[in-house]
Amino acid sequence: MQTFGIGLAGMGNVGAGVFKHLTLNRALLRERLGCELEVKKIAVRDMARDRGVSVPAGLLTTRWEELLDDPAIQIVVELMGQKDESLRLILGAIERGKMVVTGNKALLAEHGQEIFEAATKHKVPVFFEAAVAGGIPIIKAIREAFVGNHIRSIHGIINGTSNYILTRMSESGLGFAEALAEAQAAGYAEADPALDVNGGDAAHKAIILASLAYGFWVPAEKVFVEGIERITSSDISFARKLGYVIKLLGIIKADAGGEIEVRVHPTLIPEKHVLASVNGVFNALAVHGDIVGDTLFYGRGAGQDPTSSSVIADLAEAAAALQSPRSNCGFIPHGLYGTCQPIDQIVSEYYLRLTVEDRPGVIAQIAGVLGALNIGISSIFQPEGEEGETVSLVLVIHKASNAQMASALEQIGALPCVKKAPRMIRVENFA
């Protein structure tokens, strides 16, 4: 039986899981694939580190370059999570005709165009299912299952840490700092959680999804990103009273003219929508195609086992490609869609929370500012308070452009009756 050699770069949580499950499920893979997948060499930074899995010492090296030089290795798996070194490894593997499997979302988001230009030039496929949503096969679905569809939209809860924090804030009334501390104690958030809570991690995934869906690599600077750090328990409570829940949502859309929008931000979504019930560390993506209609993908978006499952699936695809060469190297550019819209042009509905004096005429002043900018109010909610108190005033705004709302916030914030900076969260009703 034919054997394909694997060079594994990185033996952290996911790398250890890949090695463990390749070993445990070796017979299953052999029967299903008709070939052997054998790890020939593993590049690590620390040879002595305990990784919770038994690895023959002869497989370990501290030089990832050995994976490129070893003729017994036909597939390189990049799980180092770096940028410069990882890029050098991937490009080096491609130049040598070695298949590449990676889960490096940040690298693909920032250097995807360069990587796939090299892959096309050398006719070497690159597989990256593990880069988005852990064990959910969303890359394969968009690239293959929906190949005949114009993707109208993708709405994704694609960061488990943020979803866990917002879930705990909603379920237990915790503040952001308390929920984050709980997530860190449970191992769901890193010691430095910045990329998770500021939306950066989700933005990397959204770039990959949008690029696959629309045929060009979306520049990172064209993606609007806002994190969950400013979400309060009051926002979550008010949203619930209005019939919504708050999620960090990746939104990818194409309009009738082919212009696309890619954004990641906290979003009010109707509590009856299926994404509203996705809680804890789970991920979910709702994909709408012009032929298939509405589809939903749900599962664990991170962790050793789900991510290892995706890496091993890519290894199986790589082995098949070695036996039967293919023209698709992982990304096929096309010119059917236009540019990425800047945030100021994007139209949405909005939740607006103001801290105002509770006295006659306040609502009229605020409505006057909005009306002068041609912005309509859908609903108003104001808790009861005594005359002269400072209270919250919550408005749901009809569709308006981000530029309109930016002007409105500036003018409303300057009103003497408004005592704190206005807080705005976008609303998605999936119409």
Cβ(404)–Cβ(371) below 8 Å: no
* Cα distance from N-terminal residue to C-terminal residue, the chain: 53
327-353 b/e with 16+ CB inside 10 Å = b? eebbbeeeeebeebbebeebebbbbbb
Q: Is 399 a catalytic residue?
A: no
Cβ(146)–Cβ(292) below 8 Å: yes
Listed residue (123, 186, 121) closest to 328, CA to CA: 123
- Please give the distance of CA 330 from its chain centroid, rounded to a whole number: 19
Cα(69)–Cα(92) distance, rounded to whole angstroms?
Answer: 10
324 burial (CB, 10 Å; 0-12 / 13-18 / 19+) is: exposed
Q: At a CB cut-off of 8 Å and minimum separation 6, what does 262 contact?
A: 206, 207, 210, 218, 222, 223, 224, 250, 251, 252, 340
Choose the catalytic residue: 41, 205, 247, 253: 205
Residue in the structure block whose two tokens are 């293959």? 144
Q: At a CB cut-off of 8 Å and minimum separation 6, what does 245 contact?
A: 170, 236, 239, 268, 269, 271, 276
Per-residue tokens: 369: 């500012």
Sign of CA dihedral 61, 62, 64, 69: negative
Q: Which residues are catalytic?
A: 205
